[in-house]
Amino acid sequence: MTRRATPRLRGVAAAFGTAGAITLIALAGGLAAQNGAADSQRGEVRALEAELVAVEGQASAAAQAHAEAAMRAEQLEVDIKENTRRLRQARRDLATSQQRLADRLVTIYAEEPPDFIEVLLTSGDLTDAVQAHDALETIGRSDQRILRTVRASRTRLRGAREELVASRVEVREAERAAAAEAQRLNGLLAQRRAVLGQARARLQTLEVAEEERRAQTRAIAAAQREGEAAIRDQAGGGSPSGGGAPAGPAPQGNMASHLARIAQCESGGDPTAVSSSGQYRGKYQFDQQTWEALGGSGDPAAAPVAEQDARAAALYQARGPAPWPVCGRL
């Protein structure tokens, strides 16, 4: 869909070849600088991501330690309550045993206990007398043993309570320390996540700029190739392949202002415009074949505005306004 270049087109294309080469060199330098900035930013993002993973692991461990400390403190309170209950019961048992022993002592002092002879005379049988005497002694020993046992139990429970109370202080302190560490790490985690989000946003901006610069470089390179092809066709005097309507005279004014009028006529200047048939797309209503011939890829309506402008300029330099048979005559 091209036609033989006119002398005017040849001059424009030649000028474009020189200017395009200079522009490509400048763009290459800018693209290299952008690539370096983007690579540096990617390295920063990766470092932040690795740091975030480490902090997340520390925060998880701190949260687990705090949960375990809280469970120990809760179990310790249960143990202290049980110890208190048992200690109170031991005190009651001791009081009961002491009361029984006191009652027995009062009885002994109030009434002289019978000796063996009296027991023998009252029982009338030696065996019964021995058994009765042994029973009295057994009761006395049993009372003393019970009293010792209860006292020992009370002493043991008091010692256990002291240990539990001391442990409660230690466990509570450990719980507070674990809570403080978990809070510190959660704060650090939130801060590093915010920094990572900012770094990713900067990287996205750099990548968009990088892609736009690449698109501009591709578009200008394609336009340069089109201009060089037009020069070769003119020099050879032959008719290039393809057909199409002859190009009309170029309107007055420079190419940029004419392309602006064409875009306004074709799409209202909307780079995302799509025709009702879906065949013509973008600011200059490219069809897919023309777009790809100019070096484009994908949907023209989805390409950056700068890329659409550059490819339209390349097409205009190669064929003039002919590709726009209606709007190109405005």
At 149-206, the pLDDT tens digits run 877 878 888 888 788 888 888 888 888 898 998 899 899 989 989 998 999 898 888 8
Q: Check whether residue 305 and residue 237 sit in a common domain.
A: no
Q: In whole angstroms, how far apart are CA 89 and each of 76, 78, 239?
A: 20, 17, 117
Question: pTM of whole model > 0.75?
Answer: no
- What's the domain range around 174? 1-243
Q: Check whether residue 296 and residue 223 sit in a common domain.
A: no
Q: Check whether residue 99 and residue 232 sit in a common domain.
A: yes
| Domain end among 228, 243, 258 | 243
pLDDT band at residue 17 under the 50/70/90 scheme? very low
Looking at the structure of the chain, the number of domains it has is 2
Q: Check whether residue 145 and residue 24 sit in a common domain.
A: yes
Q: Check whether residue 276 and residue 156 sit in a common domain.
A: no
Q: Please tell me the total number of residues recorded for the chain in this structure.
A: 330
| Domain end among 225, 243, 261 | 243
Q: Check whether residue 148 and residue 37 sit in a common domain.
A: yes
Q: Check whether residue 105 and residue 166 sit in a common domain.
A: yes
Query: How far apart (Å, rounded) are the C-alpha atoms in residues 323 and 92?
Result: 110
Q: Check whether residue 115 and residue 238 sit in a common domain.
A: yes
Q: Check whether residue 165 and residue 277 sit in a common domain.
A: no
Query: How far apart (Å, rounded) are the C-alpha atoms in residues 93 and 86?
Result: 10
Q: Check whether residue 196 and residue 269 sit in a common domain.
A: no
Domain CATH for 328: 1.10.530.10
> Which structure tokens are listed for 131?
């058994």
Q: How far is Cα of residue 130 from the mean position of the Cα atoms in its chain?
A: 89
pLDDT band at residue 4 under the 50/70/90 scheme? very low
| Domain end among 200, 221, 243 | 243
Q: Which residue type occupies 299? A: D
What is the arithmetic mean of pLDDT over 218-222?
68
Query: How far apart (Å, rounded) are the C-alpha atoms in residues 322 and 249?
Result: 9
